Amino acid sequence: MINVSRACDICGCGVGSYYIGILPQFNKRFVGLRYQHKTLTTHLGPFGERTPITADETYQTAELWGGWNIGKKFRLLAFVPYNFNERTSQTGNGKKQGLGDVALMGYYSLLDHRTSIGEKLLVQSLWVGAGIKAPTGKYEPEERLAIQESPNNFQLGTASTDFTLNVTYDIRFQDVGLDVNLNYKINTANRYGYRYGNKLTTNLLAYYKFRIANKLTLAPNAGILYETAEKDIESKKYAVDVSGGYSLSAIGGVEMSIDRFSVGANYQNVCSQDLANGRANAGSRLMVHTSIAF
């Protein structure tokens, strides 16, 4: 199992953001589709109140994703997102849609251990890896110039090549398990001199696998997700006040698989946050996915 989260400056929303949840089980490779829905309120007042220029933003992503195991030690994951952004406010509405930033991540297995304890099985795995995100999504610099007091999130891409470092540990005792993930995203400046803040994501998921008629596996899961991002940098030296921050979310979801097919969904409820110096507020998030192993 690998759980990954990627985002720009505002935790969990905006360009290049994704969250996997529990990865489908596969021996060789899998390919699938998934959908994500996120909301963000920007242009809040100094005390977090709505103002005449407050904007409600919705970020939806339809994504082709897949994985490929190379032998027993290496794993590749790829993501090709197509984004749908929408903004509504008293000062005007806006929409954008198009290809997002394509990402590729590689993992190496440091631990894959199985031990019998009585009649029960204890399974542990540890994966470490790194990834790269390509600037394939459209970035509009005039968007940033037009909304100085709003996070620079209403983009299809970042126009920057970025990198991730990842560690995932999973431990399962028979049918009950715990998955812990650490992800650090290193952003570079784009050709317009704007650099989104580096970001740390940690999450913990507990799950239980119900096996029905030796064919269907049902795995409800729950946990927490913590994200924190540094402030963005503009013109290669100025910190952007309305950027960065943290959010803490409670996660609940379920995964179902039968033969080679898997479907799943998870809901993330933001419990605590301080984003863009209090000028933005992230709403709850939803993700659904399906995949086939082959």
- Per residue in 226-255, pLDDT tens? 999 999 999 888 999 999 999 999 999 999
Cβ contact 168:126 at 8 Å: yes
List CB contacts of 158: < 8 A, sequence separation 6 or more: 8, 15, 16, 101, 133, 135, 137, 139, 187, 190, 196
State whether residue 144 is helix, strand or coil: helix
Report which of 46, 2, 56, 24 is spatially closest to residue 242, judged by C-alpha positions.
46
Q: Residue 269 is encoded by which pair of tokens?
A: 């409820």
This prediction's pTM: 0.91
Mean pLDDT of 102-113: 96
More confident residue, 194 or 6: 194
Q: Burial, 27: exposed, middle or buried (Cβ in 10 Å; 0-12, 13-18, 19+)? A: exposed
* % the chain with pLDDT above 70: 92
Mean pLDDT of 94-101: 95
**Residue 3 clears pLDDT 50, i.e. is over it:** no
pLDDT of 143 reads 84
Mean pLDDT of 69-90: 95
Cβ contact 152:141 at 8 Å: no
Q: What is the pLDDT of residues 132-168, one digit of tens each?
A: 999 999 999 988 776 666 789 899 999 999 999 999 9
User: Which sign, positive or negative, has the C-alpha torsion 185, 186, 192, 193?
Assistant: positive
Cβ contact 234:193 at 8 Å: yes
Summary mean pLDDT of the chain: 90
5-19, 41-55, 90-104, 139-153 — which is least confidently predicted?
5-19
pLDDT of 7 reads 40
List CB contacts of 253: < 8 A, sequence separation 6 or more: 21, 22, 220, 221, 222, 264, 265, 266, 267
- At 21, is the pLDDT very low, low, confident or very high (cuts 50, 70, 90)? low
Residue 264: DSSP 8-state: E
Cβ contact 242:55 at 8 Å: no
Note the CATH architecture for domain 5-293.
Beta Barrel (2.40)
**Residue 125 clears pLDDT 90, i.e. is over it:** yes
Mean pLDDT of 203-232: 94
**Residue 204 clears pLDDT 70, i.e. is over it:** yes
**Residue 294 clears pLDDT 60, i.e. is over it:** yes
More confident residue, 58 or 23: 58
Rg value, the chain, Cα: 19
CA distance 193 to 234: 6
Cα three-residue angle 278-244-102, rounded to 5 degrees? 130
